[in-house]
């Protein structure tokens, strides 16, 4: 016995939101770490 189509669509929508939220969290973390300035680094010529 399969669930009703609305339940399947609701679970699909929830799964998509979770995937995008996890991707956003990881990408924001990587973006923030790449924007940090190292004060000990030499300036490019």
Q: Is residue 1 pLDDT above 80, yes or no? A: no
**Collapsed DSSP state (helix, strand, coil) of residue 28:** helix
The size of the chain, in residues, is 45
Q: What is the predicted pLDDT for the residue at 25?
A: 87
Please tell me whether the overall predicted TM-score, pTM, comes out greater than 0.85 for this model. no
Q: What is the predicted pLDDT for the residue at 26?
A: 87
More confident residue, 32 or 38: 32
User: Alpha-carbon distance 24 to 16, whole Å?
Assistant: 12
User: Alpha-carbon distance 17 to 19, whole Å?
Assistant: 5
pLDDT in tens, 2-36: 889 999 999 999 999 999 999 988 888 777 777 66
Q: What is the predicted pLDDT for the residue at 33?
A: 76
């Amino acid at each position: 016995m399969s669930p009703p189509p609305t339940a399947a669509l609701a679970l699909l929508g929830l799964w998509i939101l979770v995937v995008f939220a996890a991707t956003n969290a990881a990408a924001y973390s990587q973006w923030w770490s790449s924007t940090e300035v190292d004060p000990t680094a030499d300036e490019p010529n």
